[in-house]
Amino acid sequence: MQAKQPGINSRLVHGTYRPDATGAVNVPIYQSSTFAFRNAEHGAALFAGREKGYIYTRIGNPTIGAFEDAVASIENGAGGVATSSGLGAVNTVYMTVLGQGAHLVSTASVYGPSRGLVEKHYRRYGVEADFVDTSDLDNLKRAMRPETRLVYVESPSNPAMQVTDIAGAAAIAHDHGALLAVDNTFASPYLQRPLDLGADIVLHSITKFINGHADVVGGVIVAGDAGLLARLRDVMVQTGCSMDPHQAFLVLRGLKTLGLRVERAQANAMAIARWLEAHPMVASVRYIGLPSHPQHELARRQMSGFGSMISFELKGGLEAGRRLMDRVRLATLAVSLGGVETLIEHPASMTHASMSKEARDAAGFTDGLVRYAVGIEDVEDLIADLDQALSG
């Protein structure tokens, strides 16, 4: 009989690490840039790949490796590649899959710089791209070309909160000989596992939920196929966007409580979204847990919870949104998300300012949209804070 796999919280707490010779319960920080070879033959064998072991931290490191294995285990992948930032992970995926003349189809409401990287830089090397509303798969189908190599989906997307059918997008990508990569940052692997739904690659800005404490910038990529993973690792190593051992140690620490943090933050988010929806000054609320969200049923099918990201618009538009952001006291006016603390920001002038007004309109978010990343504080305090900021 096959042993049952431990549940996700057991895997989050224990990872794949077992106490080493010293008995250390937690993964030690191997803060060393380089590793000694036993002799010249050993060094040559490691470089030739005839033996497994550590050479140099940009290529591989035990602390970073423990983090990569832990995330790969919860994403159900063949292995992971940690990167210095989430955008480093995005670039590693692009550079691995795209080449001159290749075409990319991506979610229009993708994180601004994930789009900017293509439009400003990859285009200079002959890569073409279309950014479409992938929450309607007909748009994706129409955008596919014979030279499409990569379908890149962010779901739920930042900050439009659109949800894409990942299994459907995988089928379309594969019918056209392309790979599907999913930016799973907003959901976290606790709520959504894209590889199980047919994606080839999943990536995260671990700066957000995976680390969860707003004190580390980093990224990670997981692939289902070992050959593809090796190609991704090669690009990470060659472009030098490696993680640091201390960064990996902190993220391993954050990962253990991912389940607890996500459960608490999404319970808070549901209560806040309902409160906002009923507030007379609020024009619209986008929270995928609300039945009013256009992809609520799809999110229910492909995710195990609705997460803690809310976008909303006030009846007074941009000016009213600005006033609110200046008046909140418990929530912090700052970009980023996925930490224990609640953050509020204005996408059009902050995280997505690199996009043109037309691109933002096409991506489905207006200048008046406010993004509210719910943390794990007491929900009555968060609601009281929004209440005083709206009524002041």
Q: Give the separation between CA 7 and CA 330, rounded to whole angstroms.
A: 34
111 is catalytic: yes
Q: Is 192 in the site for ligand LCS (CB under 6 A)?
A: no
Give me the 339-368 binding string for ligand LCS, x by CB under 6 A, dash otherwise.
Answer: ------------x-----------------
The single residue listed with the structure tokens 């392309």 is: 178
Window 26 to 45, contacts with ligand LCS (CB under 6 A):
none
Per DSSP, what are the bridge partners of residue 104? 129, 150
CB of 118 to ligand LCS, least distance (A): 13
| Contact call for residue 183 and ligand LCS (CB under 6 A) | yes
Residue 204 C-beta: closest distance to ligand LCS, Å: 8
By beta-carbon proximity to ligand LCS, the closer residue of 111 and 287 is: 111
Cα–Cα distance, 187 to 59 (Å, whole number): 29
Q: Which of 149, 193, 208, 264 is catalytic?
A: 208
Q: What is d(CA 353, CA 293) in angstroms, rounded to the nearest whole number?
A: 25
Question: Does 205 participate in binding ligand LCS (rule CB under 6 A)?
Answer: yes
Q: Active site includes 256?
A: no
**Residue 58 among the catalytic residues:** yes
Q: Which of 183, 200, 244, 385 is catalytic?
A: 183
Q: In 10 A of CB 2, how many CB atoms? A: 4
With binding defined as CB under 6 A, does residue 268 bind ligand LCS?
Answer: no
Q: Which residue has the tokens 């937690």?
A: 26
x/- binding map, residues 140-179, to ligand LCS, per CB under 6 A?
--------------x---x---------------------
**Shortest spacing between CB 264 and ligand LCS, in angstroms:** 20
Token reading at 313? 């618009």
Helices (H), the chain: 8-14, 40-48, 62-75, 86-97, 112-116, 137-143, 166-175, 226-239, 245-255, 258-277, 296-302, 317-327, 357-362, 379-391
Q: Is 211 in the site for ligand LCS (CB under 6 A)?
A: no
Strand partners, 153: 182
52 tagged catalytic:
no
Whole-number Å distance between alpha carbons of 236 and 230: 10
Q: Which of 17, 111, 122, 190 is catalytic?
A: 111
Bond from prior residue into 245 cis (ω within 30 degrees of 0): no
Cβ-count burial 235-255 (b if 16+ within 10 Å, e if not): bbbeeebbbbbebbbbbbebb
Verify binding: residue 336, ligand LCS, rule CB under 6 A. Answer: yes
Are 80 and 69 in contact, with CB atoms under 8 Å apart? yes
| Residue 86 makes contact with ligand LCS by CB under 6 A | yes
x/- map, 113-142, ligand LCS, by CB under 6 A? -x----------------------------
Residues that bind ligand LCS (CB under 6 A): 85-87, 90, 111, 114, 154, 158, 183, 185-186, 205, 207, 217, 219, 335-337, 351
Q: Active-site residue numbers?
A: 58, 111, 183, 208
